[in-house]
Amino acid sequence: MPKKLRMKTSDRIFPIVASLLLGAFISQTAPTIATEKPTASVPPPKIISQGAEAGTYQAFTDICRLKNDDLLCVFYAGYGHVSLPKDGWPKGGRVCMVRSRDEGRTWSAPQILFDGPQDDRDPHIAQMRDGTTVCSFFTYEPRDAKASAEKVRCATCLVASRDAGLTWETTPRVVANGWPSSAPVRELPDGTRILGVYREEAGSAFGGIIRSSDGGKNWSAPIPIGKGSGVRLDAETDFALLKDGTLYAALRGDRVNMHFATSRDLGLTWSSVKDIGFAAHCPHFTRLKSGELLLTHRLPATALHVSRDEAKTWQGPYQIDTTPGAYPSTVELKDGTVLIVYYEEGEGSAIRARRFKLKSEGIEFLPLD
């Protein structure tokens, strides 16, 4: 979030979460990027959810393909960038979803996936090999300053569906108390499930990972990534598995470039964090069938990097949209093109989608209808 508009309260309350929730967006440091303006031959973005059916503020998107080939997109729905309980919104922000059964051409009306008693935010979605669909999110709850020195309480939660997202558990599982999450559960080839988390502690901030080796029944305590590095990381940790078995973590930086770390034992131990070479927020990875690794992110605006050498180098950024909302994620369509979903910031915000084809020199936008 733009540091020039960082709210002073974020330095007193819970800097890493408050800056993620209440900031605006960096623009003055944006690099020159490749972009195409909508013309007769360059289709504009498609709005796939907007309006009071879900909430007047819609943000923080993620998408996955289900085993039945539906595309399921989840997002945060509230009345503002932070939607604490109030009159008219007794439970605060909630998690909503829309579904497409025709490769993103048309979408269902939004439905509530989960709505707990606090502000439920940053949802992400993934289907496991056993068919279970898992939605990860975190709760954001201010606390009475007299009751605790920690004035904001966060917890990463999971809810599951066993019927392709038609019905969902109503009681969430808290899997990382005191740690937010802004990523989907990832399932590794050996069945291990991992989830990126992050935390502020003792004036610093860093990423982390939690692991389950029994199909999500039990989860490990968070394993820090970058703790003690001397680099403050807002994190929003996400992971990609490289072809040689290395687990690659991307971590949002605070006033610094995005950083990365690697693990040779599927997340149990980690290398030191290193500068990835560019500024970026809210990383999200997708591996294409053709082998390329996509890294979508915010900064500049809504953008994308591509790696063709297993994260050794990154091509880009390629601009997806000029809107600074972002939190983008991607899914490969049946024809080998890519669908990206993201949000637009501001009053009356909406969830947008674009379709593109990856080319050697960049991307080509294609019609979605």
Q: Are 84 and 119 in contact (CB under 8 A)?
A: yes
Mean pLDDT of the chain: 89
* DSSP per-residue codes, 249-267: EEEE-SSS--EEEEESSTT
pLDDT at 338: 98
Q: For residue 191, how many other CB atoms are within 10 A of its CB?
A: 13
| pLDDT tens-digit map of 38-79 | 455 789 999 999 987 788 999 999 999 999 999 999 999 999
Q: How many residues does the chain have?
A: 369
pLDDT at 25: 39
Poorest-pLDDT segment among 53-57, 189-193, 289-293: 53-57
SS3 365: strand
Q: With 80 as the cut, is the pLDDT of residue 205 above it?
A: yes
How are beta strands 133-142 and 119-127 bridged, if at all?
A: antiparallel
| Residue 18 zone, left/alpha/beta (φ > 0; ψ -120 to 50; rest) | alpha
**Element housing 17 (H / E):** helix 15-22
Rounded distance, CA 5 to CA 27, Å? Answer: 11
Q: With 80 as the cut, is the pLDDT of residue 157 above it?
A: yes
Q: With 60 as the cut, is the pLDDT of residue 222 above it?
A: yes
- The token duo for 215 is 């199909």
Q: With 50 as the cut, is the pLDDT of residue 8 above it?
A: no
Q: What is the mean pLDDT of residues 69-97?
A: 95
Rounded distance, CA 37 to CA 171, Å? Answer: 45
pLDDT at 142: 80
Q: What is the mean pLDDT of residues 281-294?
A: 97
Poorest-pLDDT segment among 113-117, 326-330, 347-351: 347-351
Amino acid at 224: P
Rounded distance, CA 66 to CA 69, Å? Answer: 5
Angle at 244 between CA 242 and CA 245, to 5 degrees: 70
Listed residue (142, 217, 153, 213) closest to 179, CA to CA: 153
| pLDDT tens-digit map of 228-244 | 999 999 999 999 999 99
Q: With 80 as the cut, is the pLDDT of residue 20 above it?
A: no
Q: Are 336 and 289 in contact (CB under 8 A)?
A: yes
Q: With 70 as the cut, is the pLDDT of residue 156 above it?
A: yes
* DSSP per-residue codes, 295-321: EEEESSSEEEEEESSTTSS-EEEEEEE
Amino acid at 232: R
Q: What percent of the chain has pLDDT over 90?
A: 79
* DSSP per-residue codes, 169-234: -SSPEEEEET----S--EE-TTS-EEEEEEEEETTEEEEEEEEESSTTSS-PPPEEESTTSS----
DSSP state, residue 333: -
pLDDT at 158: 98
| pLDDT tens-digit map of 24-43 | 333 333 444 444 454 557 89
- The token duo for 2 is 């733009």
pLDDT at 152: 66
Q: With 60 as the cut, is the pLDDT of residue 197 above it?
A: yes
Listed residue (55, 92, 76) closest to 343, CA to CA: 76
For the chain, give every domain's residue range.
1-30
Tell me the CB-side half-sphere exposure of residue 148, using CA atoms within 13 A: 10
Q: With 80 as the cut, is the pLDDT of residue 289 above it?
A: yes
Angle at 304 between CA 267 and CA 37, to 5 degrees: 170
Report how many helices (DSSP H) and strands (DSSP E) the chain contains, helices first: 1, 25
Rounded distance, CA 197 to CA 206, Å? Answer: 9
pLDDT at 12: 31
pLDDT at 319: 95
Q: With 50 as the cut, is the pLDDT of residue 7 above it?
A: no
pTM (predicted TM-score): 0.90
Q: With 60 as the cut, is the pLDDT of residue 167 above it?
A: yes
pLDDT at 363: 95
Higher pLDDT, 14 or 343: 343
Q: What is the mean pLDDT of residues 281-301?
A: 97
SS3 298: strand
